[in-house]
Chain A
Amino acid sequence: KNEVEQSPQNLTAQEGEFITINCSYSVGISALHWLQQHPGGGIVSLFMLSSGKKKHGRLIATINIQEKHSSLHITASHPRDSAVYICAVANTDKLIFGTGTRLQVFP
């Protein structure tokens, strides 16, 4: 069993829909990261959180430390949100990555 599990693996949505991507982990962590990877490979760090909730524009990330679970929400999704979203946990100061969620948003 992977130490970091993401669901779903693939997600398609119509523009404007509310999106939720989930991440569960089984190891102790000091922080959880949400990353976005576009075709071509470049990775952008969206959030780093160790408790509670963070919001940036249309993106919201939450974490429940007791349940070892985090969610990434995208409100009013747009085709430019199409990317792979990766959850990563910091364990002994090393990042352990989930397998990613491929999101496609259609106009």
Chain B
Amino acid sequence: GENVEQHPSTLSVQEGDSAVIKCTYSDSASNYFPWYKQELGKRPQLIIDIRSNVGEKKDQRIAVTLNKTAKHFSLHITETQPEDSAVYFCAASDSNYQLIWGAGTKLIIKP
């Protein structure tokens, strides 16, 4: 079945710098790759997603890239702000359209 690995587990960046979180997946049939943000004590919420027929997608300061050949996808956050501090999860859909989740990355924005 699908397996998703996420790195790093913790990422600390200076406010205003960029942050990159990477995920790899194992099932070449996976076709949907969302990223969720979970603030402390709150529920996960979708921030951006990408489908396998697209290589890159942007939404303001957030972008996701997908490399189907290498089976990895990445979240890029530019001009980081204190409100970006959270845990970020990647996921990939398996053959049953169920999401398999990475273990999460705690992003810390230093003032």
Note whether A and B form a binding pair: no
